[in-house]
Amino acid sequence: MIRLSEKLPRQIAVAVSGGCDSMAALDFLRRSHDVLVLHYNHGTKYADIAQNVVSNYCHQHKLQWRAAKNSEAAPKGESLENFWRMKRYEFFEEARDDRQVVTCHHLDDVVETWLFTSMHGNPFLIPNVRDCYVRPFLQTRKKDFEDWCARKDVVFLEDPSNQNTRFMRNFIRHEIMPKVLVVNPGIHKVMAKKLGALSSSGRATPLHGVGGRFESDRVHMPL
């Protein structure tokens, strides 16, 4: 079941990639909020298709939306994912109209982030709020987003690059997580309790780099 862990204002901006998670989050939120949809086109093979998915949905439901397209190459030595993330957030800052920006990070992201940062000796949990960015779905599982799209007939794009394990986020998800679940099948419940404890205590969870190709608040999970 999709649930909000943070109270949101009536007017919000929602970061939408066209994938299952963000399309489910958008469909959920637009029913009770005035949403401004923000979409960043990374200029990749499937990016125009993803933009069309977002555009068609916004026109169907008469939603405000803004988009920008990347036309720059990543600097030499910088990971593509880190570069895309930087450009994406630059666009969000320019386009959000002073609204809070909701992202679709979910509990599976929390677990994967915690695993990776723990392996680097610096474990942290994705925070609910950072500046103008709000992550109200951290207690929601990815499978709940998938179920929402199936039940509500929400169209989304499954980018084939999400299966490419040369990206560390995918390696963690597809290679390491299945083994972690053998060791602790209840790890998502454990992390949900940790999030709940942090939220009730009012403590912040500052973000900081951990090196490699996984450094960022989203651990390079595409929006």
Q: Is residue 33 part of a domain?
A: yes
Q: Is residue 4 part of a domain?
A: no
Helices marked H in the chain: 20-29, 47-60, 80-95, 107-119, 142-152, 168-171, 177-183, 187-201
Q: Is residue 29 part of a domain?
A: yes
Burial of 143 (0-12, 13-18, 19+ CB in 10 A): exposed
- Please report the pLDDT score of residue 201 as a whole number: 52
The answer to whether residues 134 and 101 touch, using CB atoms and an 8 Å cutoff, is yes
- The per-residue pLDDT string of the chain (223 residues; one tens digit each, 9 = 90 and over) reads 998 988 999 999 999 999 999 999 999 999 999 999 999 999 988 999 999 999 999 999 999 999 999 988 888 888 887 898 899 999 999 999 999 999 999 999 999 999 999 988 988 889 999 999 999 999 999 999 999 999 999 999 987 777 777 778 888 888 999 999 999 999 999 999 988 877 655 544 443 333 333 333 333 333 3
Q: Is residue 212 part of a domain?
A: no
Torsion sign (Cα): 14, 19, 25, 28: positive
30-50 per-residue burial string, b: 16 or more CB within 10 A, e: under 16: beeeebbbbbbbbeeeebeeb
Q: Rounded to an integer, what is the distance from CA 147 to the centroid of its chain?
A: 17
Q: Is residue 15 part of a domain?
A: yes
Q: Measured between alpha carbons, how far is 1 from 118 in angstroms, rounded to an integer?
A: 28
Q: Is residue 211 part of a domain?
A: no
The CATH number covering residue 36 comes to 3.40.50.620
Closest CA to 222 of 17, 11, 47, 13: 17
Domain total for the chain?
1
Q: Is residue 61 part of a domain?
A: yes
Domain of residue 54 covers 11-201
- Which residues neighbour 122 within 8 Å (Cβ) at sequence distance 6 or greater? 208, 210
- Please report the pLDDT score of residue 174 as a whole number: 87
Q: Is residue 158 part of a domain?
A: yes
Q: Measured between alpha carbons, how far is 7 from 196 in angstroms, rounded to an integer?
A: 14
